């Protein structure tokens, strides 16, 4: 028997092959998962699932292969309103992948997902660490300044490929320097 949390609602999840399984599966609006035979509240058993890239998942063996169910996506399908079909992705509002409460989930477009990820505390901390890094770099600030001047010069004779070869870096590094993604503090 499951201990129900205050305000918790359970709904059965339906996926390809769910009728082939011995047990039924349900997700709550609080982000919990359970298996059961007849009634989730009477004979349900809580499932921990596993982690896939930090997201809580259920791995179910179905006839046509394995079925990986992302709990946050199922919670969003069952409990969160989708504004339109272009909203195909689910984001965690507080950036905590293990907080699958429906109040913390939101349907989003690809652009919204990208923007949301840039505001993640982990991403901000990573950018700060990278900006202050001094060891293990292929270039120094002086070289980057010269590269930026070269890239900006409309009369330059060297291609990106030639500049990259000269400084022993990839062309992608040069594009990242140009956009400010790398070495943005160097003017």
Average pLDDT of every residue of the chain: 89
Q: What pLDDT score does 65 carry?
A: 63
3-state secondary structure of 117: helix
In the predicted model, is pLDDT for residue 63 greater than 70?
no
Q: Helix, strand, coil proportions of the chain in percent (round to 5)?
A: 35, 20, 40
pLDDT for residue 85 = 92
Residue 136 has pLDDT above 80, yes or no: no
| Rounded mean pLDDT, 53-63 | 85
Given a contact cutoff of 8 angstroms between Cβ atoms, the answer to whether 24 and 12 are in contact is yes
CB-based contact 173:164 (threshold 8 Å) = yes
pLDDT at 112: 94
57-64 CB contacts, 8 Å cutoff, 24+ apart: 58/25, 58/33, 60/15, 60/17, 60/21, 60/25, 62/16, 62/17, 62/18, 62/20, 62/21, 63/17, 63/20, 64/16, 64/17
Q: Which stretch, 1-10, 39-48, 130-139, has highest mean pLDDT? A: 39-48
Rounded CA separation 92/103 (Å): 9
pLDDT tens readout for residues 64-117: 666 788 999 999 999 999 989 999 999 999 999 999 999 999 999 999 999 999
- 25 near 59, Cβ under 8 Å? no
Q: d(Cα 66, Cα 60) in Å, to the nearest integer?
A: 6
Cβ neighbours of 137 (radius 10 Å):
13
Please give the average per-residue pLDDT across 165-169, as a whole number: 92
């Amino acid at each position: 028997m499951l201990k129900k949390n205050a305000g918790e609602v359970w709904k059965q999840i339906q996926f390809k092959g769910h009728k082939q399984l011995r047990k039924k599966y349900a997700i709550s609006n609080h982000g919990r998962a359970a298996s059961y035979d007849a009634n989730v509240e009477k004979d349900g058993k809580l499932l921990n699932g596993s982690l896939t890239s930090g997201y809580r998942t259920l791995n179910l063996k179905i006839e046509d292969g394995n079925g990986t169910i992302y709990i946050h996506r199922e919670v969003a399908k069952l409990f969160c309103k989708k504004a339109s079909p272009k909203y195909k992705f689910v984001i965690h509002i507080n950036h905590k992948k293990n907080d699958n409460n429906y109040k913390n989930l939101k349907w989003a477009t690809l652009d919204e997902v990208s923007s949301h990820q840039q505001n993640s505390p982990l991403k901000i901390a990573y950018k700060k660490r990278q900006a202050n890094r001094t060891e293990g770099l292929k270039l120094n600030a002086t070289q980057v300044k010269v590269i930026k001047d070269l890239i900006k010069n409309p009369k330059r004779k060297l291609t990106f490929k030639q500049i990259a070869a000269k400084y022993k870096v990839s062309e992608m590094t040069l594009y990242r320097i140009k956009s400010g993604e790398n070495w943005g503090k160097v003017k």
